[in-house]
Structure 1
Amino acid sequence: MPEADLDLLTDAARRAGQIALGFWRRDPRSWDKGGDAGPVTEADLAVNDELQASLMAARPGYGWLSEESDADLSRLDARHCFIIDPIDGTRAFIAGQEGFSHSLAVTDGDRIVAAVVHLPVRDITYTAFEGGPALRNGQVIEPADADIDGASVLTYRAVSEPGHWRDGQVPPFRREFRPSLAWRLCLAAEGRFDAALSLRAAWEWDIAAGSLIAERAGAVVTDQRGERMRFNSQRAMVDGLIVAGKHLHGQILDRLKP
């Protein structure tokens, strides 16, 4: 049942936070993974080891997909799969900033059915399960639905390049940024920002949990072409993302260059 998996993920996310805080602002060892994969720290690996051991012990029949684990394609044969980012926002973590999170999700087929995004420094926990509400620290959340003109959009600088937009006309939205992609989806879900947008392929572990939280909050959640996201794929990537209220989502999709 998704509710039971959500309880499991919530407990695991809090343990992950305790481990991460044991390294945070204590000069953890870090190194570059190479191949444009970015940095990793000893904290990422410690969190990953704990989550993999505890979650797989609790659900031995589930598959496992994590940013910090070796690829195991046997997950493709499992009905259910954990999709985990042990620390989302590793650069922020290394810099001693507060905006990193733990992103944990469970699939049923290609759908996310239970999800947690936990920010341990800020003591914020977002949760959702299939058929239930999206919550922030136990309180129901819902997105805003602004007009694209003046909307606050969580995204990166390159999205404002004219080549991404019809006729080279960049909509006059306000671009904002937060280091954790999972957190960006949750901020859009709770209406603190109007949308989260990426025109780059996104790793599933970055967006799996946040996508369900935003969807259950009432946002429209699609890839950059307006298609439903599908998870536990062989490539483990989604073709960009648009997360916003129905009106704003439609406006963004209409303005993007096909």
Structure 2
Amino acid sequence: MIARTRPREIEHKAEGASLASQVLTEVDRRSEQIILDHLQPTIERFGLALLTEERDDDGGRLVAEQFWCIDPLDGTLPFIEGRPGYAVSIALVGRDGSPLIGVIYDPVEATLVHAIRGVGAFRDGIAWTREASDDGGALTLFADRSFLDGQDGDAAVAPFEQIAQEMGLDSVRLNATAGAVMNALGVLGSPPACYVKDPKPRGGGSLWDFAATACVFHEVGAVATDINGHPLDLNRADSTFMNHRGVLFASNDALARRIRAIRRGGN
């Protein structure tokens, strides 16, 4: 069971561009081992490859028909700070990068979300469909802490205020407290909403941060693409990072189109 208190030991990894990608706790390793104990028989029986955050990428995902893509504890920063916003994320991904199965567990709320390609999405075993977007109120913008790096809050949020105005909404509500997995699920839970990561030189989250939620979004009919509207590159050959094309999760197509247009205009 995932601990709900702050960890006793925190290590630092020499990778990634943000603090969130550089910290590791004993719970990350314990969670990974529990997951692998359950998945190892499927790896052996079906010839699946494995990609997990806490182990080196052995390249097997580029050869096998499918691979397990695991983040044993996404949102390590909120976890070590004793705040909600962390989750366990497990996905089965095809060699072509298609998310086939997605499983997310939120230990704080004891909520399990899962999706199977072509079957549907489920929350605690109950079919989950996309919630309708409100016609008024606020646009919720989910973001990582690094969203504000190098710019003030007003400048970062300004493009989304323009989008909100175009959509007849009265404000933008910024939420930059959770990890990538819970940010994405937040989009589905509070429409109209989005979670955006622009392309950048390095970092940008990793395959395991987005694979499971991408499957959920596909099954509920919401948007999970790169910043230009192409499918997420969930089996990138040259890296496990997603910085090259960015990430866009949106609660509906109209919002996604506006974000892409304004992002292209800013380049």
- Residue 159 of structure 2 aligns with an amino acid whose one-letter code is V
- Number of aligned residue pairs: 234
Any conservation in 2 of the 1:145–1:246 contact (CA below 8 Å)?
no
SS in 1 for 2:211: helix
Match of 2:11 in 1: 31
Pairing of 1:71-110 with structure 2 (within 5 A)? 71-109=57-95, 110=97
Shift of 1:59: 2.5
Match of 1:255 in 2: 262
Any conservation in 2 of the 1:149–1:171 contact (CA below 8 Å)?
no
Any conservation in 2 of the 1:28–1:43 contact (CA below 8 Å)?
no
Q: Distance in 2 between matches of 1:118 and 1:218?
A: 21
SS in 2 for 1:81: strand
Q: Distance in 2 between matches of 1:55 and 1:221?
A: 26
Pairing of 1:57-72 with structure 2 (within 5 A)? 57-60=41-44, 61-72=47-58
Q: Distance in 2 between matches of 1:171 and 1:43?
A: 36
Q: Distance in 1 between matches of 2:137 and 2:148?
A: 18
Match of 2:240 in 1: 236
Query: 1:154/1:55 Cα in 2 relative to 1: closer, same or farther (>3 Å)?
Result: same
Aligned counterpart for 2:159 among listed residues 170, 187, 191: 170
Q: Is 1:50 matched with 2:34?
A: yes
Q: Distance in 2 between matches of 1:149 and 1:25?
A: 35
Q: Distance in 2 between matches of 1:161 and 1:227?
A: 27
Match of 1:133 in 2: 120
- Residue 251 of structure 1 aligns with an amino acid whose one-letter code is R
Shift of 1:85: 0.3
SS in 2 for 1:70: coil
Shift of 1:208: 0.6
Report the TM-score, using the length of structure 1 for normalisation: 0.81
Query: 1:147/1:35 Cα in 2 relative to 1: closer, same or farther (>3 Å)?
Result: farther
Any conservation in 1 of the 2:78–2:84 contact (CA below 8 Å)?
yes
Q: Is 1:155 matched with 2:147?
A: no
Q: Deviations over 1:124-168 (max 9, x none)?
A: 111111012222223313144468994111114438959xx9xx9
- Residue 142 of structure 2 aligns with an amino acid whose one-letter code is L
Any conservation in 2 of the 1:160–1:170 contact (CA below 8 Å)?
no
Q: Distance in 1 between matches of 2:84 and 2:224?
A: 26
Q: Which moved more, 1:214-223 or 1:51-60?
A: 51-60
Q: Distance in 2 between matches of 1:33 and 1:237?
A: 15
Identity within the alignment, % = 23
Match of 2:111 in 1: 124
Pairing of 1:198-217 with structure 2 (within 5 A)? 198-200=197-199, 201-217=204-220
Query: 1:147/1:226 Cα in 2 relative to 1: closer, same or farther (>3 Å)?
Result: farther
Shift of 1:53: 3.2
Query: 1:160/1:197 Cα in 2 relative to 1: closer, same or farther (>3 Å)?
Result: farther
Any conservation in 2 of the 1:159–1:198 contact (CA below 8 Å)?
no
Query: 1:161/1:150 Cα in 2 relative to 1: closer, same or farther (>3 Å)?
Result: farther
Q: Mind listing any 5+ residue stretches in structure 2 that lack a counterpart?
A: 162-171
Query: 1:75/1:125 Cα in 2 relative to 1: closer, same or farther (>3 Å)?
Result: same
Q: Distance in 2 between matches of 1:158 and 1:131?
A: 37
Match of 1:189 in 2: 188
Q: Mind listing any 5+ residue stretches in structure 1 that lack a counterpart?
A: 1-17
SS in 2 for 1:186: helix
- Residue 47 of structure 1 aligns with an amino acid whose one-letter code is S
Query: 1:195/1:77 Cα in 2 relative to 1: closer, same or farther (>3 Å)?
Result: same
- Residue 8 of structure 2 aligns with an amino acid whose one-letter code is P
Q: Which moved more, 1:135-144 or 1:100-109?
A: 135-144
